[in-house]
Every structure is written in structure tokens, then in C-alpha cells.
Amino acid sequence: HVQLVESGGGSVQAGGSLRLTCTASGYIYASYRLGWFRQAPGKEREGVAVIDSNLGTSYKESEEGRVTISKDNAENTFYLQMDNLKPDDTATYYCAANAPSLMTASQCLETGGSDFAHWGQGTQVTV
């Protein structure tokens, strides 16, 4: 059974940086797609970044250049580095993991991770 726990959220001034960490208990297979998603009050969940087993990455267009997703298979951990944060980035951020599916990475982002099976509890980011 996979459990995901986010950490690293907090309050930061506009222009600042945060690094979110997602730690998995239970085995995350190297073949899994990993992702970061966020949900602001009154809005639908949206995709921020995903990383595939081949280390290919995809980003929400508005975030590209400001966020970087990475993973450490040996530590069963993955990360979201966020720079030049803006007030619009304020949201609860969730990490998620999923076995390979028919959805492309872009589709995963567009659907807010609708096919992801494993989710963390979320961490608040306030800018």
C-alpha cells in the first residue's frame, strides 16, 4: 500500500522560492508516473508538473521555467522546486503517483491527475 506525504510548504513573499518534497512509504515502482498538482479555494485541481520513468517531464504552461520536478528513486522521494513564486501560486499542493496508463503526461496535467491512484494529503503554499 502506497502512502505519500508532502512537506516543504509554507508562506513566502512574491519572488521567493520553495521546495516541496513528497516521500513515499510503500514501494513506488520506477515505472510509475509521478506528479504535483494544486487546488486553490473555489477552483478545480490542476496539474503543475509530472515526471515519467524515463525522466521525461511535462509542466503546466504557465509554470514552465519557474518550477522543476525531480525524483530520487533510491529514496522513494520526489520534489517540486518552485522559484519566482507569484500570488496566483497560492494553493494546496498535492503529490501523486500512478502506474503507467494510456494518458499522456499532458493529459494528466490537463485533467488534474484524474487517473492518478495514489495521493498525498496536501501541503499549503501561500504567496
Task: Write out pLDDT tens, residues 37-96.
Answer: 999 999 999 999 999 989 999 999 989 899 999 998 888 899 999 999 999 999 999 999
Using a 10 angstrom Cβ sphere, with 0-12 exposed, 13-18 middle and 19 or more buried, the burial of residue 15 is exposed
Strands 123-126 and 10-11: parallel
Q: Is the pLDDT of residue 26 over 80?
A: no
| Residue with the three cell numbers 477552483 | 43
Q: Is the pLDDT of residue 112 over 90?
A: yes
Q: Is 107 helix (H, G, I), strand (E, B) or coil?
A: helix
Closest CA to 37 of 99, 101, 97: 97
User: φ, ψ for residue 40 (rounded to 5)?
Assistant: -95, 155
Residue 33's CB is within 10 A of a number of other CB atoms, namely 22
Residue 46 is predicted with a pLDDT of 97
What is the reported pLDDT for 4? Answer: 95
Residue 28: pLDDT above 80? Answer: no
- The answer to whether residues 113 and 122 touch, using CB atoms and an 8 Å cutoff, is no
Residue range 105-118: average pLDDT? 94
Quick one: which H or E segment has residue 77?
strand 77-82
